[in-house]
Chains A and B, each alone.
Chain A
Amino acid sequence: MNLNLNRDPGEEVRAADPEPETAAATEPSAVEAAPDDALTAPREPEQEPQERGALGRDGELRRHSELHRRSRIIRSDLAHILCALSTLIAMIPLVLILFYVIYQGAGALNLDFITQLPKPVGEPGGGMGNAIVGSLMLMGIAAVIGLPVGVLAGTFLAEFRSPRLSWFVRLLADILSGVPSIIVGVFVYTLLVLTFKQFSALAGGLALGILMLPTVARTTEEMLRMVPDSLREASLALGIPRWRTIISVIIKTAGGGIMTGVMLAIARIAGETAPLLFTALNSRTWPTGIDKPVASLPVQIYQYAISPFDAWHQQAWAGSLVLVLMVLILSVGSKLYFGRKMQRAR
C-alpha cells in the first residue's frame, strides 16, 4: 500500500495505458484480484519486512485492477443505459395505447354503458351490457374446455416422459399455437355451426378454448418441470402413489405458476375477434343460452368501429376501454395473487 503511494502518478498512467485493450480478456482475474486485495490489506504491515517483492507485485496488481475497474464501470453503465432505453422504447406503444383508449373511451363510459343493451342508431344512450356478459360467458366456456385439457396435456408432457410421443405432442402444440385464429374459427364453423345450422356461444367458446390450449399446455409443462425432482422422490419414498404425487405434490407446488399461465391465456383470447365472427356471431339482446348466438366485446367494437355513426364510434371506444381494463385486471391480478404463492413454493 505504501509502495503504491511513493510511485510517480504519471508513470502509473503511462505504464497502464495499453491495458484497456485487454481489459475484457483479463476481466475475471481482475474481479478476483479486487476482493483478494481487500482481504490482505489489513495484514500487510506485518508481512512488510519479509515480503517486499511480493508486495511490489501486489501494488502493480492493484494499479491494473483499478484501471480495469474504471473501464468495467463505464461499460457496465453503458449497457445499463442501453437496456433502460430499449425498455422505454418498448413501453412507449403500450403507454400510448392505454392513454389514447382512456382518453377516447372514458367520455362515453358510464353505468348505463355496462348495464344497458345497445340502442338503435339515432337514439342516444344504450350500452354494451350484453356484450360484456357475452364476453365473460365465452371466456368461461373457453376456460372449461381449454383448462382441463391443457393442464392434463401439460402434465402428460412433463411427467410421463415417453420421448417420441412427447416430442410429437409438443410439435403439435407449437403448430397449433401458430395457427391463425381465423382458421380456428372456420374450423369450428364447419364442425359445429354448419352441423347444427346455428351460431352459438358454445361454438365461440370452443374456438377460444382451442386457441388457449397450446399456451395452457406448454405453461403447465414448464411449471411442472420447474418443480425439483427431489420433491417427487420425497413423495414417492413415503409410499405415496404416483398419481397422488403428481396431483397433491407436484401440481399443487406448481399451481401458482400454472394459474398465472391460464389467466394470461384467458386474457389473451379475451380480445379475439376473428374466430367469433364465424361462431358466436353477435346479438343485440342479452344472452339466452349457450346454444344461441351471443354478443361479445371485440365483435361489438368491430361492428361499431366500422359503422358510419359518430355515436357508435364513441361506444366502440368505451367498449375498448372496458376490454382493456378486463384484460389488465385479469393478467395483473393473477400475477400478483399467484405470483406470491409461487414465491412461497421456492
Chain B
Amino acid sequence: MAGCITTKHLSASFGDIHAIEDVSVEIMANKVTAIIGPSGCGKSTFLRCLNRMHELVPGARVTGEVSWDGRNIYAPEMDATLVRRGIGMVFQKPNPFPLMSIEDNVSAGLRLAGGRMRKAKVAEIVERSLRLSALWDEVKNKLHKPGGSLSGGQQQRLCIARALAVEPDIILMDEPCSALDPASTQKIEDTMEKLKKDYTIVIVTHNMQQAARVSDMTGFMLSTEMGEPGRMIEFGLTNKIFTMPDRKETENYITGRFG
C-alpha cells in the first residue's frame, strides 16, 4: 500500500522568494522520514511540493521532478486532486471542518471527493480511521458532535483520521505537534509508529528530539543566509545523522550551536 517519493533537483519559489533549491532525496516506503532545520529553511515548502499543495500559494512555481512510485506528479496529465488523495497531509494547526460532526469530518474526503458509497461502508471506514489515529475510544459515543468541540490534541488526531479515511499511500505532516501539549504529542507519535506499517510518513518538525524519536530517516535543511533558498544539506539514516553527521552544519545544528 505504501508508496515512495523521489525528488530530483526540486526547486520552488513564490513571487520573488526563492524558497528551496535543488533538493534531491529518496523517501522510502514504510518509513518515517523527518525533515529538520531552522525556521525559514524551506522545510514546509518542500513538504507542500510533495503533494502539489505548494501551487495553491499565489505566484508559486516549481521546477524539477517529484515522482511518486515512478510517476512524475507534476506531469501535465497528472490530476492534482488525485495526487492529493494518494498523498495526504496533516497541518500544523488542527483544522477540522467546524460545521461538520466528528463523523462527517472523517468521512468528508470520501463523501466530497469520491463517488457514492454505501452508508455501512462509510461508517466502517470512519471507525477504522478513528481507531488508527487512537481517537475512537474517546469519541465513539459522540460521533455526531461538532469536531470543534474536541480538545486541540483530539482535533489533531481527528485531522489524522480524516487524512487516513481517503486511504492515501503517503502521509505528510507539517509540524503536527507544535501546537499540542506533551501528552497529546506522545499519542500522535505512538500513532505514527503504528501507521508506518501501512503508510509512508514524512514529518516536518523543528523539534529535534521528536525527529530522533520517531524517524528512520532524517533530512537536514538549511538556508545559509537570509534570502538564500533552503537546501537539503544532509539526508540519511536518523541514527547516523544524530550521532556522526557528515557535514559540519548538521553537527552544529543538532548540537544546538545555532538555529
- Chain B interface extent, by class: 20 to 34
Q: Are A240 and B112 in contact (CB under 8 A)?
A: yes
B98 at interface, CB cutoff 8 A: yes
Q: Are A244 and B112 in contact (CB under 8 A)?
A: yes
A50 at interface, CB cutoff 8 A: no
Residues 239-253 of chain A: 1 if any B CB is under 8 Å from the residue's CB, otherwise 0?
A: 111001100110011
Q: Distance in Å from the Cβ of B125 to the closest Cβ of chain A? A: 13
Q: Are B113 and A234 in contact (CB under 8 A)?
A: no
The CA-CA distance from A249 to B147 in the complex, in Å, is 14
Q: Are B53 and A235 in contact (CB under 8 A)?
A: no
Q: Are B82 and A239 in contact (CB under 8 A)?
A: yes
Q: Are A241 and B81 in contact (CB under 8 A)?
A: yes
Given contacts A244-B113, A248-B112, A239 and B166 within 8 Å (CB-CB):
yes
Q: Distance in Å from the Cβ of B108 to the closest Cβ of chain A? A: 6
Q: Are B91 and A233 in contact (CB under 8 A)?
A: yes
A22 at interface, CB cutoff 8 A: no
A238 touches which one: B56, B93, B109 (CB < 8 A)? B109
A7 at interface, CB cutoff 8 A: no
B51 touches which one: A235, A237, A341 (CB < 8 A)? A237
A248 — nearest CB in chain B belongs to which residue?
A: B112
B188 at interface, CB cutoff 8 A: no
Interface residues of B in 84-100 (CB under 8 A from A): 84-86, 88-89, 91, 93, 95-99
- The residue among A230, A231, A239, A341 with the most chain B CB atoms within 10 A of its own CB is A239
Q: Distance in Å from the Cβ of B117 to the closest Cβ of chain A? A: 15
Q: Are B146 and A344 in contact (CB under 8 A)?
A: yes
B98 touches which one: A232, A235, A239, A346 (CB < 8 A)? A346
Given contacts A241-B113, A248-B112, A230 and B91 within 8 Å (CB-CB):
yes
The CA-CA distance from A236 to B85 in the complex, in Å, is 9
B149 — nearest CB in chain A belongs to which residue?
A: A344
Q: Distance in Å from the Cβ of B202 to the closest Cβ of chain A? A: 14
B83 — nearest CB in chain A belongs to which residue?
A: A239
Set of chain A residues within 8 Å of B108, measured between Cβ atoms:
235, 238, 240, 249
A80 at interface, CB cutoff 8 A: no
B58 at interface, CB cutoff 8 A: yes
Q: Are B81 and A233 in contact (CB under 8 A)?
A: no
Given contacts A161-B58, A230-B93, A344-B146, A237 and B99 within 8 Å (CB-CB):
no
Q: Distance in Å from the Cβ of B159 to the closest Cβ of chain A? A: 7
Set of chain A residues within 8 Å of B34, measured between Cβ atoms:
none
B146 — nearest CB in chain A belongs to which residue?
A: A344
A345 at interface, CB cutoff 8 A: yes
The CA-CA distance from A240 to B97 in the complex, in Å, is 13
B162 at interface, CB cutoff 8 A: yes
A237 touches which one: B58, B146, B148, B163 (CB < 8 A)? B163
Residues 202-240 of chain A: 1 if any B CB is under 8 Å from the residue's CB, otherwise 0?
A: 000000000000000000000000001011111111111
A244 — nearest CB in chain B belongs to which residue?
A: B112
Set of chain B residues within 8 Å of A346, measured between Cβ atoms:
98
Q: Are B146 and A238 in contact (CB under 8 A)?
A: no
Set of chain B residues within 8 Å of A344, measured between Cβ atoms:
98-99, 146, 148
Set of chain B residues within 8 Å of A341, measured between Cβ atoms:
99
Set of chain A residues within 8 Å of B159, measured between Cβ atoms:
234
Set of chain A residues within 8 Å of B96, measured between Cβ atoms:
234
The CA-CA distance from A239 to B111 in the complex, in Å, is 11
Residues 242-275 of chain A: 1 if any B CB is under 8 Å from the residue's CB, otherwise 0?
A: 0011001100110000000000000000000000
Set of chain A residues within 8 Å of B146, measured between Cβ atoms:
344
- The residue among A230, A231, A238 with the most chain B CB atoms within 10 A of its own CB is A238
Q: Are B112 and A253 in contact (CB under 8 A)?
A: no
B168 — nearest CB in chain A belongs to which residue?
A: A239
A341 — nearest CB in chain B belongs to which residue?
A: B99
Set of chain B residues within 8 Å of A252, measured between Cβ atoms:
99
Q: Are A233 and B99 in contact (CB under 8 A)?
A: no
The CA-CA distance from A232 to B89 in the complex, in Å, is 13
11 contacts between A and B (CB under 8 A): A234-B96, A236-B56, A236-B84, A237-B53, A238-B113, A238-B163, A239-B85, A249-B112, A252-B99, A344-B98, A344-B146
Instruction: Please provide the 5 A-B residue pairs with the shortest distance between their CB atoms, ordered closest to farther.
Output: A239-B85, A238-B109, A237-B89, A230-B95, A239-B84
8 extra A-B contacts, CB within 8 A, seeds A237-B84, A240-B112:
A230-B95, A233-B53, A233-B89, A234-B91, A236-B56, A239-B81, A249-B112, A346-B98
